[in-house]
């Protein structure tokens, strides 16, 4: 081959090489990425980011990064280049531009365990369809007509089993309550029955894997959780088949639960129904039980709030007694105004969900910073809730900051606004169960404060792992309380 021929043959390769060199040389200088540190190759800064810290703080890693780089910084987390945002404005921008500029993007390990049809990982039309089903099932109308009664029944079932002066884990009790409620609501499983207890046991193993490192080796929590996932799915599938048989027998589905609803009203495949049910069980059980445990913890440390709360609930209970009613109704719930302040403050300070996983699906510019397409973006909602420029003394449990004075909330110039308070996320992926979660917390608090006094039986506090958990399970001791 002569020289010109050889040159011609190599020309495309040479040109591509030059192009790559130009692009890789020019890209960094063209992009105005936020400041930050990309850490070690592949691992990046993930280990530091995930180091446990007190749930009522943002942790040392975040504090140091914000003081060094500001509220928006770049990093390398979960094996990907990432923009971390502790900035209220950017967080809002990210949530509101879901599907346009950003997209939900949970680590692959979460998809592996919750399933590819889980609402938490789905995007686009399929997410919309699943969301409509969930919203329908958790609608305001259902809350009033059906769920309030169920929430009350399951609260009383758990609280009535408590024994005076013998310590127990408040976190486990809260979990029992939310699990029983969801199992009933989703598949009509009755609390205490052997199948419900078996499912609960399997679910505990499953949960340990959801929050563990995604190492699929024999003996790891992740591997065990994948096994539990199959067992749970098999269980749900059997329930589904039983239900279809019943339907064929009687011509209708009598149970008023999610399983019955999806079988009757949707054309989802078996695989899709299984993942939907599993992810709702997960989303609706873990979060609200942690929120209830946090409320129990914060209230025992704030006697004034507890006193005011007790007055509110005793007032409601007294009125019911006088009218001869026994069950709570929607009007009673609406009277729980200070309780709503306690709930908001618990969610603000405790931050059950601390950050969300997103990725940029286009090149985005925000306040002069470039966020390249494909980069992960983590809106850290906890950092906004604990930001001292937005909330007075953010580390303090102060439910009164949510009280309405002359039509506005709070009493200071830095009063919280709904813009900055997003415990349930926002935009098109706003938590589908937010109203149910608040109802569960309010009803649980109602029966807790009118029936019991409580104290910590052992020192414990909430940690962010980053999922929020009380390492000792929040051991408490209760004494009966009766009001006149």
Which positions touch ligand HEM (CB under 6 A)?
Answer: 104, 119, 131, 134, 138, 280, 283-284, 287-288, 291, 347, 352-353, 356, 423-425, 429, 431-433, 436-437
Q: Looking at the DSSP assignment, which residues form a beta bridge with residue 454?
A: 478
Question: Least distance to ligand HEM from the beta carbon of 163, Å?
Answer: 28
Q: For residues 73 and 177, which CB has a smaller minimum distance to ligand HEM in the complex? A: 177
Question: Least distance to ligand HEM from the beta carbon of 454, Å?
Answer: 20
Q: For residues 255 and 435, which CB has a smaller minimum distance to ligand HEM in the complex? A: 435
∠128-129-134 over CA atoms, to 5°? 95
Give the list of residues 6+ apart from residue 296 with CB closer than 8 angstroms, or none.
170, 174, 448, 454, 474, 476
Question: Least distance to ligand HEM from the beta carbon of 142, Å?
Answer: 12
Question: Least distance to ligand HEM from the beta carbon of 167, Å?
Answer: 25
Q: What is the DSSP string of 176-215?
A: HHHHHHHHHHHH-PPTTSHHHHHHHHHHHHHHHHHTS---
Question: Least distance to ligand HEM from the beta carbon of 77, Å?
Answer: 16
Question: Least distance to ligand HEM from the beta carbon of 20, Å?
Answer: 35
Q: For residues 280 and 306, which CB has a smaller minimum distance to ligand HEM in the complex? A: 280
Question: Least distance to ligand HEM from the beta carbon of 376, Å?
Answer: 13
Q: For residues 34 and 433, which CB has a smaller minimum distance to ligand HEM in the complex? A: 433
Q: What is the DSSP string of 19-88?
A: HHHHHHHHHHHH--PPSB---BTTTBTHHHHTS-EETTS-HHHHHHHHHHH-SEEEEEETTEEEEEE--H
**Phi and psi at residue 41, in whole multiples of 5°?**
-55, 140
Q: For residues 114 and 364, which CB has a smaller minimum distance to ligand HEM in the complex? A: 114
Residue 320 CB-density burial (10 A; 0-12 exposed, 13-18 middle, 19+ buried): middle
Q: How do 80-85 and 376-379 pair as beta strands?
A: parallel
Distance CA 233, CA 235 (A): 5
DSSP state of 301: T
Q: For residues 115 and 284, which CB has a smaller minimum distance to ligand HEM in the complex? A: 284
Question: Least distance to ligand HEM from the beta carbon of 353, Å?
Answer: 4
Q: For residues 299 and 457, which CB has a smaller minimum distance to ligand HEM in the complex? A: 299
Distance CA 26, CA 7 (A): 27
Q: Looking at the DSSP assignment, which residues form a beta bridge with residue 77?
A: 80
Question: Least distance to ligand HEM from the beta carbon of 145, Å?
Answer: 17
Q: For residues 439 and 449, which CB has a smaller minimum distance to ligand HEM in the complex? A: 439
The residue nearest ligand HEM at its CB is 433
Q: For residues 295 and 457, which CB has a smaller minimum distance to ligand HEM in the complex? A: 295
Task: Supply 481's token pair.
Answer: 């309380």
DSSP state of 166: -
Residue 431 labeled ligand binder:
yes
Give the list of residues 6+ apart from residue 183 with CB closer than 8 angstroms, or none.
189, 191, 196, 199, 200, 281
Distance CA 87, CA 73 (A): 10
Distance CA 160, CA 24 (A): 66
**Phi and psi at residue 355, in whole multiples of 5°?**
-150, 160
Annotated binding site for heme: 431
Annotated binding site: 431
């Amino acid at each position: 081959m002569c020289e010109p021929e050889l040159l011609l043959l190599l020309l495309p390769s040479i040109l591509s090489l030059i192009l790559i060199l130009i692009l890789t040389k020019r890209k960094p200088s063209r992009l105005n990425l936020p400041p930050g540190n990309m850490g070690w190759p592949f691992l990046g800064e993930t280990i530091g980011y995930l180091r446990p810290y007190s749930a009522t703080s943002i942790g040392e890693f975040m504090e140091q990064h914000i003081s060094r780089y500001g509220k928006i910084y770049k990093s390398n987390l979960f094996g990907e280049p990432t923009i971390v945002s502790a900035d209220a404005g950017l967080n809002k921008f990210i949530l509101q531009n879901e599907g346009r500029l950003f997209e939900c993007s949970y680590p692959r390990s979460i998809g592996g365990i919750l399933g590819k049809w889980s609402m938490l990982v789905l995007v686009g039309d399929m997410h919309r369809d699943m969301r409509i089903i969930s919203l329908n099932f958790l609608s305001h109308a259902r809350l009033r007509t059906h769920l309030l009664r169920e929430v009350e029944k399951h609260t009383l079932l758990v609280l009535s089993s408590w024994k005076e002066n013998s310590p127990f884990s408040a976190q486990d009790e809260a979990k029992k309550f939310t699990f029983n409620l969801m199992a009933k609501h989703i598949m009509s499983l009755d609390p205490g029955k052997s199948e419900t207890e078996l499912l609960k046991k399997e679910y505990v193993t499953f949960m340990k894997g959801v929050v563990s490192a995604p190492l699929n080796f024999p003996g790891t929590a992740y591997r065990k959780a994948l096994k539990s996932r199959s067992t749970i799915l098999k269980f749900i599938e059997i329930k589904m088949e039983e239900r279809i048989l019943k339907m064929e027998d009687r011509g209708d589905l009598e149970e008023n639960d999610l399983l019955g609803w999806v079988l009757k009203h949707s054309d989802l495949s078996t695989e899709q129904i299984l993942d939907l049910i599993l992810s709702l069980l997960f989303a609706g059980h873990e979060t609200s039980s942690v929120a209830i445990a946090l409320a129990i913890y914060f209230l025992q440390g704030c006697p004034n709030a507890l006193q005011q709360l007790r007055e509110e609930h005793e007032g409601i209970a007294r009125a019911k007694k006088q009218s001869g009613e026994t069950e709570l109704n929607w009007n009673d719930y609406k009277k729980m105004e200070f309780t709503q302040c306690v709930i908001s403050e618990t969610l603000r300070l405790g931050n059950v969900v601390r950050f969300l996983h997103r990725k940029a699906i286009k090149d985005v510019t925000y306040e002069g910073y470039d966020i390249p397409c494909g980069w992960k973006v983590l809106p850290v909602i906890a950092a906004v809730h604990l930001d001292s420029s937005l909330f007075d003394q953010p580390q303090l449990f102060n439910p009164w900051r949510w009280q309405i004075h002359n039509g506005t909330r709070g009493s200071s110039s830095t009063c919280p606004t709904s813009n900055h308070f997003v415990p349930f996320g926002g935009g098109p992926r706003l938590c589908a169960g937010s109203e149910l979660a608040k109802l569960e917390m309010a009803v649980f608090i109602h029966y807790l404060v009118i029936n019991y006094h409580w104290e910590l039986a052992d020192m414990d506090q909430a940690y962010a792992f980053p999922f929020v958990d009380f390492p000792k399970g929040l051991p408490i001791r209760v004494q009966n309380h009766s009001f006149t």
